[in-house]
Amino acid sequence: MELLYLIIVSSLVSFLFLSLLMFVIYKMRQIRSVRDVQSVYFTSISRIWLGLFLVAMGLNSIIQFTTSVAIIVGAVFILFGAYNVYYFNKARKKFKANLPIEEKAWEEFEARRQKSR
pLDDT bin (cut points 50, 70, 90) of residue 15 is very high
Give the number of domains in the chain: 1
Q: Alpha-carbon distance 97 to 103, whole Å?
A: 11
pLDDT at 117 over 80: no
pTM, rounded to two decimals = 0.86
> Looking at residues 33-60, what average pLDDT do you find?
93
Task: List CB contacts of 35: < 8 A, sequence separation 6 or more.
Answer: 102, 106
Among candidate residues 46, 57, 52, 60, the one with its CA nearest the CA of residue 92: 46
Task: Using only the alpha carbons of the chain, give its radius of gyration.
Answer: 20
Across 12-45, b (16+ Cβ under 10 Å) vs e yields beebbeebbebbeebbebbeeeeeebbebbbbbb
Query: What domain range includes position 16?
Result: 2-116
pLDDT tens across 17-29, in order? 999 999 999 999 9
Average pLDDT of every residue of the chain:
91
Q: What pLDDT sits at residue 97?
A: 84
- For residues 42 and 88, the answer to whether their CB atoms sit within 8 Å is no
pLDDT at 32 over 90: yes
